[in-house]
Amino acid sequence: MLNAEDYLSGQVLLIDKPLHWTSFQVVNKLRYELKKSFKLKNIKVGHAGTLDPLATGLLVICTGKMTKQIDSFQGQIKEYTGTLVLGSTTPSYDLETAIDKTFQTHHITTQLIQETTSQFIGDIQQIPPIFSALKQNGKRLYQFARAGEEVNIKSRQVTIHAFEITNIDTLNIDFRIVCSKGTYIRSLVHDFGKALKSGAHLSALRRTGIGDFNVSKAKSVEYFLKSLPSE
């Protein structure tokens, strides 16, 4: 069992983020429980890459002196699996907001879906969703969105190393994506829908890898907390 000095010296914790939790909530929970279990006044805890509340999967959490390595972990390649729904869009590009538009899908074939993925391989330009925590003019983008204010969001280059369709069930499309830091899967799904001359939104997302770290080695928040000494 690790002791207080181990966590202060620095640990890398692989946590499987639960649905509806923010990454910040996971970090806060772990910090609070570490302080309580080891009677610490303070301990540094941070994560190497945010996951949306509606996403699950791998969070790399660093404690103590290992927080200095967060930037190097954030820059590593990410892997995701998920499901998109064809024929409709939402303002947030996922299920955080309700469907606002519907589109024709009768022209979309399995072959067209498979062929269209090739348009998104390599270096591409994408515009982050307005429902995101990115800052512009000192405000989070989602603050503009919730206030109904328009904002000009600049596109940025990201790299898609792999975009595979793993299952097609009518309008529900399962996929696997390997991508660079800064990629918004929601934006990729939104643009994929447009490339199909239709619409699409993200209905499920799971991060399965960051660099050499895999979610198969990750522990739930509950499992980690049970590993701490009780008072």
Tell whether the model's pLDDT for residue 207 goes beyond 80. yes
Beta strands in the chain (DSSP E): 12-17, 45-47, 55-63, 78-86, 88-89, 101-102, 122-126, 135-136, 139-140, 156-169, 172-179, 200-210, 213-214
**Residue 217 forms part of a structural domain:** yes
Q: Say what the pTM is.
A: 0.93
**Averaged pLDDT for residues 94-107:** 96
Do 26 and 102 sit in the same domain of this protein?
A: no
Domain encompassing residue 18? 4-75+212-226
Do 48 and 118 sit in the same domain of this protein?
A: no
Catalytic hit among 52, 71, 94, 123: 52
**Residue 231 forms part of a structural domain:** no
Do 23 and 86 sit in the same domain of this protein?
A: no
Nearest to 172 by CA among 92, 108, 98: 108
pLDDT digits (tens, 9 = 90+) for 41-91: 999 999 999 999 999 999 999 999 999 999 999 999 999 999 999 999 999
Q: Is 52 a catalytic residue?
A: yes
Cα–Cα distance for residue pair 175/231, rounded to 1 Å? 44
Q: What is the CATH number of the domain that holds 40?
A: 3.30.2350.10
